[in-house]
């Protein structure tokens, strides 16, 4: 795999020394937030992870190379580019073969992190079963990846634009542990609660690290979802978000937005309709997840 992967020196040293490393996706930079907030947030999240005593490894494909850890120039390049591919499992080999640029989704980030030996990954929210999937079978590749790649994803639940009950059912069917962090409810990205029970609960990073270690030692191929609610001061009201999401979904339908273009369109529309408050919430929850991910990664490194 060295033929295709470049691991940044800081990340390579941390992995060799058994130190805590946290993977970060790049779709949130290239497709999830406007410039310059995307690059500013990426830098801040990396600094948060370092402040917690772990090493960040933002992952992307640049000129056909799978990069595990990005420097300042690469972050700026991703943040300002307009033709960066959005990479999931199916897209990754072609973009590498064509020596193109790509920003990794949850699924692709998990794949690349696992190749590098990184087992903890912080993001905003996972993909899931889309509303109306009973008609068009629109289900994120993130869910299958969680079932077959041993990387734990720390997130604020699944994105609120999704069908959350079906998403949880799918994860249960695929045997993926879903752990509410200090909560009995599955969080709904912008909102702290979804009204749905979290299948499992843990109240400290050490317990989560111990679970991940047991998964690994038992030979489980799957990862896990660590659902960490958005901080209360940044949380959006559920009733408001239901109205906004319904309106955004209607707009997507009217404009014929489909496939992997749906999520960035909806998130952008929601930012517009909430006058930027949803973007503030998104940034806050990503930072919150980075803190927890770093602490879990430290717990795993301490047990190594």
* Catalytically annotated residues: 25, 159
Q: CA angle, 178 as apex, 37 and 194 as ends, to 5°?
A: 65
Cα dist from 202 to 52, 92, 117, 183, 227, whole Å: 20, 34, 24, 8, 10
Kindly report the number of other CB atoms within 10 A of residue 166's CB atom.
17
Record the tokens describing residue 134, joined without a space.
Answer: 């009973």
Integer Cα distance of 161 and 157 in angstroms: 12
Pairwise CA distance, residues 110 & 102, whole Å: 15
User: 37-51 and 72-80 are packed helices; what angle lies between their axes, rounded to 10 degrees?
Assistant: 150
- CB-based contacts of 254, cutoff 8 Å, min separation 6: none
Rounded Cα–Cα distance for residues 300 and 210 (Å):
7
């Amino acid at each position: 795999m060295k033929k295709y992967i470049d691991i940044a020196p800081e990340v390579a040293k941390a992995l060799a020394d058994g130190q805590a490393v946290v993977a970060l996706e790049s779709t949130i930079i290239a497709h999830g937030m406007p410039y310059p907030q995307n690059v500013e947030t990426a830098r801040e999240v990396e600094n948060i992870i370092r402040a917690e005593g772990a090493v960040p490894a933002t992952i992307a494909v640049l000129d056909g190379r799978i990069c595990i850890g990005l420097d300042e120039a690469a972050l700026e390049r991703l943040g300002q580019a307009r033709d960066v591919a959005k990479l999931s499992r199916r897209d990754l080999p072609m973009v590498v073969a064509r020596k193109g640029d790509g920003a990794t989704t949850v699924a692709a980030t998990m794949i690349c992190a696992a190749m590098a030996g990184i087992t903890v990954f912080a993001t905003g929210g996972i993909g899931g079963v889309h509303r109306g999937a009973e008609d068009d079978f629109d289900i994120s590749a993130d869910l299958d990846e969680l079932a077959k790649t041993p990387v734990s994803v720390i997130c604020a639940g699944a994105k609120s634009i999704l069908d959350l009950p079906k998403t949880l059912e799918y994860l249960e069917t695929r045997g993926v542990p879903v752990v509410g962090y200090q909560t009995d409810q599955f969080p709904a990205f912008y909102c702290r609660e979804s009204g749905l029970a979290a299948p499992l609960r843990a109240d400290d990073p050490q317990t989560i690290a111990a679970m991940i270690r047991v998964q690994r030692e038992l030979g489980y191929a799957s990862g896990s979802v660590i659902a960490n609610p958005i901080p209360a001061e940044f949380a959006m009201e559920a009733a408001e978000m239901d109205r906004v999401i319904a309106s955004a979904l209607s707009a997507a339908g009217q404009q014929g937005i489909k496939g992997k273009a749906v999520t960035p369109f909806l998130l952008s529309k929601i930012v517009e309709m909430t006058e930027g408050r949803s973007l503030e919430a998104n940034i806050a929850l990503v930072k919150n997840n980075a803190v927890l991910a770093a602490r879990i990664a430290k717990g795993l490194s301490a047990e190594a």
